[in-house]
A and B are shown apart, each in its own frame.
Chain A
Amino acid sequence: MHVDELVDSGIPTRVIEVLKDNGITKLYPPQRDAVYEGLLDLKESFVIAVPTASGKTLIAELLMVKSILDRGGKCLYIVPLRALANEKLEEFRKYEKLGIRVAISTGDYDSSDPWLTNYDIIITTSEKADSLLRHRSEWLGMVKVLVADEIHLINDAGRGPTLEVTIAKLRHLNPQLIVLGLSATIKNADEIASWLNAKLIKSEWRPVTLRKGVYFNGEILFDDSSIIEVEPLTNGELFNLALEPVKESGQSLVFVNTRASTERFALDISRISKKFISNSETKALKDIADEALNVLAEPTRICKRLSKCIECGSAFHHAGLAAEQRRIVEEAFKNNLIKVLSATPTLAAGVNLPARRVIIRDYKRYEPSLGQSHIPVLEIHQMCGRAGRPKYDEYGEAILVAKSFDERSFLLDNYILAEPEAIYSKLAMESVLRVHTLATIVTGFANTKQGLIDFFSKTFFSFQQDPWVLEGAIMKSLEFLMRESLLEEKGEYITPTPFGSRTSELYIDPVSAVILRNALFKARDRDTNEISYLQAIAGTPELGKMYLRKKDYDACLEFAYEHENYLLFGIPSEIIDPWNFEEFLSNLKTVMFFKDWIEEVSEEFLLKKYNLGPGDIHNKVELADWLLYSMAEIGKLFKIPKIREVLKLRVRVKHGIKEELLPLITLRGIGRARARRLFARGYRTLGDIRKADVKELSRVEMIGEKLAKSIKSQLEGKEEKVGIERQSRLADF
């Protein structure tokens, strides 16, 4: 179907011109089907269950643009990952010339973002959408189209329930809402469609042909029973498999199950992959390698490894990398400079990084509660779906790797030829429901027990599974929330307490709010220091547990004794209460980590000591920042004077600095490393810096002339507040 035919469905020609300007002239079959089925009549909701890269986004674009031009109102586009919001923003920008305004709303969970009133398309995550609902953002009532990208993630135990509840709430808020669910091909897409009262478009069509197969003993057996041999370039089988497309100017993407494996594989193959890069590429890769090496103030081991790989045309990609490094790797891969990329399966769910050949080395992985378990078919298919670059490759290949003849048949039957699993709502867990029960009452979606049950009956869970299960879990959550005074019962009505309302707005787990509140009450009447507050946040479910190795036991216990006077929660008995004892120690490990961080221990050392990646530090710091903010907010509510200590700690944690650097860190462009260098050179206060000139400042290590100038201009006209008043003595009078 040619895009010109869209006129018949009411798409104005100026929109079609925009499409053509961006190289879109024909609609893919699933896109055409959606249009034929009446998507653009703006009367019905739709669920589109098609493979990756088969043009789902364009379907959403057509729907949103039509809706905005025809009848005004807003469109909310929910992406599964924050990192994808920017990608979508770039794609939707093309409609700005039609006067359509596009914005991103992610991040700060304690704001209603009223400025969004001025935008037509708002891209957000399900968590942020949920938080906007909790802040009762008025413009949410103007949302007419809701796009839920990767709606099959309802299946995800961690984030699925939020997506599901957010959809239910938005539909409740606006019964006329048109929902467009974009899904991977799943077995029960029809169930999702019936839940949403939507038409289903299901298709296996792909823009690039996909061949799936299993590798064993030098050959690949494909799903069409054909067999091809893999040229033995080296004596490593996986290397041969990965390098074969590279020889013909293609790329390979290799999925392995741990971060360490991604690094090892990329390093190993880098010795061979460097033979496949041209002279011009060598130069470009060298620059990229330097860039990746220097994203942090001081390069860590991982930075060095990554840089070394990139120079040779390989790379690894996992959540432990700094965000900037991930971006660099992704871009270099898209530009076909990096030839072989090894990644953990999380990549398949996120960024769009197609390669001619996808190799899936591991089909098992470690699950915290289950041990080694099989990766679901749905996920393996998602990984396979990354094979084949539209416009570049004629076909894509997805290959699993077998270690025995039997395993080859197993993989063929259970993965290659198998249908993806059905998805199930994970809403009925108490840990999940207490969050949503609280939010539902606080935002007024329900104010009685029956009201709660009625509200949750609109979720996918109730549609799909036994509502009685849900009811039991709701009642348990209610009990907890009332016992801890987040909610209270007034006759038949259930109302939130100020503590409950604030908890919901702060977007933290009620359990965390209770921990933080209890800690503050303990802190009120005793001596406290940073250890006290770090211990409080370390116990929250958000921050999660750090894995306690055998050798950590003694170190943590010793640390506990050393700081016992400042611990808000005492040391449990190992014998009477072994479970809590272990939990206590594991929390202390987190405390030790943050203590080291704010004592300015080098990142390199932290990574080694705590077995983390640079991205992990960033994630932990971001979470701790939010929890300390929440702690201060709860402190304000209960009028606990200690919150200034908490806020001071928050700044220290955010930047990883000792207290003495607090004045310097207020300058833009000055982080932990630069502040420390200034301090070492004798610039200890803003007053010291004010006295210095640009030339003197630029002599400090890591401070160039440009930054020195910026520092000076920041200080101009900014009166130093510190020390204006001094304490007098009685004898002065």
Chain B
Amino acid sequence: MFKARLADPKILKYSIDAVSNMIDEAGVSVTKDGLRLKAMDPAHVALVDLELKKEAFDEFEVEEPLVLGIDLERLNTILKRAGTDQILIQLDSENNVLKIRFKNSSTRTFDLPLIEVSEEELKVPNLDFPSQIEIPPKILSESIKDAEIVSDHVTLMVDEENLFISAKGDLGNVEVKVPKDEAKSFEVSKSCRSMFSLEYLKDMIKASDIADSVKIYLGDNIPVRMDFTTENARLSFLLAPRIESE
């Protein structure tokens, strides 16, 4: 038995939207603490770790821990129809579907068939990040959108004073400078830089709209970790860089 209710669907909608472009299907673990989704994209470039604590829900009931195989693409299309309706989620284990209900003046019910997912062990690299910077998510998402105008990849760079987000393209260059003072926290042990594909970043920043802050873990030509957090939820990404070949 699993049942949950969300008065405000925003947090679920946005986090699934951020994830579903990268990851087609995933196993979602449900425990008494909440929901957790951890998966890697098929190209093994990005890792997603989404945690929705049970406090994020208005109601949350589960008898025993279970894993739900979910087609994220389909879930996302369904959630897009939610508007601002209240959402009820209920497992119908007999038919192996997840019933998703939108409740407003009318009640709309969608059946999302559950799928088989292979439970392979995720190889998460063990990394030491020389820099950790926490900034308002809006700054990050705007810079990524600026970068998209000129290029398909972006360079993240930090020195003792600033975080730089820059992109170069045939149409010109973009550089966004975020000074130390603008950051919520700024721990930089050495200057470093890495380059990343915007293809992935542009999906990741969709989480900006619901997060209170984003913490960026950066090193030299190593993956970047970005943690978008709010009181009861955390969406964390690990993204492999573009590196110079040869």
Q: Chain A interface (Cβ within 8 Å of chain B)? A: 632, 635-636, 639, 641, 643-644, 647, 723-733
Q: Is B244 interfacial (CB-CB < 8 Å)?
A: yes
- A-B CB proximity, top 7 nearest: A641-B148, A733-B125, A725-B242, A729-B44, A728-B240, A726-B245, A730-B240
Query: With a CB–CB cut-off of 8 A, which chain B residues contact A639?
Result: 145-146, 149
| Bound CA–CA A726/B244 (angstroms) | 6
A114 to B195, CA, bound (A): 38
Task: Say whether B10 faces chain A, with CB atoms less than 8 Å apart.
Answer: no
Inside 8 A of A728's CB, which chain B residues have their CB?
45, 240-243
Q: Contact: A641 with B149, CB < 8 Å?
A: yes
Shortest CB distance B24–A (Å): 16
Cβ of B202 under 8 Å from chain A: yes
* Interface residue B214 (Cβ < 8 Å from any Cβ of A): no
CB of B199, distance to nearest CB on chain A (Å): 9
Q: What is the chain A residue whose CB lies nearest that of B148?
A: A641
Nearest CB on A from B141, distance (A): 11
Taking the closest CB of chain A, its distance from the CB of B181, in whole angstroms, is 25
Tell me if B207 counts as interface (CB < 8 A to partner A).
no
Asked whether A647 lies within 8 Å of B223 as measured between CB atoms, the reply is no
Q: Nearest chain B CB to A276's CB is how many angstroms away?
A: 56
Q: Complex Cα distance A636/B238, Å? A: 29
Most buried by B among A636, A724, A725: A725
5 chain-A/chain-B pairs, Cβ below 8 angstroms: A632-B171, A643-B149, A725-B245, A730-B44, A730-B240
Closest CB in chain B relative to A565 CB, distance in Å: 14
Q: A730-B47, A731-B44, A731-B123 are known contacts. Are A641 and B242 too (CB-CB below 8 A)?
A: no
A-side contacts of B240, CB under 8 Å: 727-730, 732-733
CB distance from A148 to the nearest CB of B (A): 38
CB distance from B209 to the nearest CB of A (A): 14
Residues of B within 8 A of A727 (CB): 43, 45, 197, 240, 242
Query: In the complex where A641-B148, A647-B171 touch, is A724 in contact with B244 (Cβ < 8 A)?
Result: yes
Of A636, A727, A731, chain B has the most CB atoms within 10 Å of the CB of: A727
* Chain B residues closer than 8 Å to A641, beta-carbon distance: 145, 148-149, 202
Minimum CB–CB distance for B174 against chain A, Å: 10
Question: Is B222 part of the binding interface, using a Cβ–Cβ cutoff of 8 Å?
Answer: yes
CA distance A644 to B43 in the complex (A): 24
Find out whether the CB atom of A730 lies under 8 angstroms from the CB atom of B145.
no
Contact between chains at B223 and A723 (CB < 8 Å): no
Q: Does B40 contact A730, Cβ atoms closer than 8 Å? A: yes
Q: Is A635 touching B149 in the complex (CB atoms < 8 A)?
A: yes
In the complex, A613 Cα to B243 Cα: how many Å? 50
Judged by a CB distance under 8 angstroms, whether B8 is at the interface is no
Residue on B nearest A639 in the bound complex, by CB:
B145
Considering the complex, give the chain A residue whose CB is closest to the CB of B239. A730
**CA of A728 to CA of B151, assembled, Å:** 18
Q: A733: nearest residue on chain B (CB-CB)?
A: B125
Query: Nearest Cβ in chain B — how far from A517, in angstroms?
Result: 15
Q: Does B49 contact A (CB under 8 A)?
A: no
A725 contact from B47, B124, B146, B153, Cβ within 8 A? B153
**Chain B positions 210-246 with a Cβ under 8 Å from a chain A Cβ:** 222-223, 238, 240-245
A122 CA to B20 CA in the complex, in Å?
Answer: 58
Contacts of A724 in B (CB 8 A): 244-245
Q: Does B111 contact A (CB under 8 A)?
A: no
A626 CB to nearest chain B CB (Å) = 16
- Extra pairs beyond A725-B244, A726-B245, A733-B222 (16, CB < 8 Å): A632-B171, A635-B149, A641-B145, A643-B171, A644-B150, A647-B171, A724-B245, A725-B195, A727-B43, A728-B243, A729-B45, A729-B240, A730-B125, A730-B238, A731-B125, A732-B240
B152 within 8 A of A: yes
Q: Which residue of B lies closest to A730 (CB)?
A: B240
CB contacts (< 8 Å) of A632 on chain B: these are 171
A636, A728, A730 — which one has the most chain B CB atoms within 10 A of its CB? A730
A-side contacts of B47, CB under 8 Å: 730
Query: Known contacts being A641-B202, A733-B222, A733-B223, is A726 close to B149, with CB within 8 Å?
Result: no
Residue of A whose beta carbon sits closest to that of B195: A725
B residues in contact with A726, CB < 8 Å: 242-243, 245
Most buried by A among B47, B127, B223: B223
CA distance A44 to B40 in the complex (A): 80
Separation in Å of the A644 CB from the closest CB of chain B? 7
Which B138-184 residues have C-beta < 8 A from chain A?
145-146, 148-153, 169-171
The answer on a CB contact under 8 Å between B243 and A730 is no
Inside 8 A of B242's CB, which chain A residues have their CB?
725-728
Residue of A nearest to B47 (CB): A730
Cβ contacts B117-149/A at 8 Å (1 or 0 each): 000000111010000000000000000011011
What residue of chain A has the Cβ atom nearest to residue B150's Cβ? A644
For A644, list chain B residues within 8 Å (CB).
148-152, 169, 171
Docked pose: A724 CA to B240 CA in angstroms: 16
Residue of A nearest to B238 (CB): A730
Residues of A within 8 A of B145 (CB): 639, 641
Cα distance A44–B245 in the bound complex, in angstroms: 72
Q: Which partner residue on chain B sits nearest A647 by CB separation?
A: B171
Task: Enumerate chain A residues within 8 angstroms of B125, measured Cβ to Cβ.
Answer: 730-731, 733
Tell me the bound Cα distance from A644 to B222 in angstroms.
Answer: 27
Complex: how many Å from CA A325 to CA B149?
Answer: 40
- A733: B residues at CB distance < 8 A: 125, 127, 222-223, 240
Residues of B within 8 A of A731 (CB): 44, 123, 125
Cβ < 8 Å to A, chain B residues 85-117: none
The reply to whether B149 and A730 form a contact with Cβ atoms under 8 Å apart is no
Query: Complex: how many Å from CA A726 to CA B242?
Result: 5
CA distance A723 to B242 in the complex (A): 11
Please provide the chain B residues from 49 to 76 with a CB less than 8 Å away from any CB of chain A in the complex: none
A residues near B151, Cβ cutoff 8 Å: 644
Residues of A within 8 A of B44 (CB): 729-731
Cβ distance B245 to chain A, nearest Cβ, rounded Å: 5
> Once the chains are docked, how many angstroms separate the CA of A296 from the CA of B40?
53
A730 touches B222 (CB 8 A): no
On chain B, the residues within 8 Å of A732 by CB distance are 240
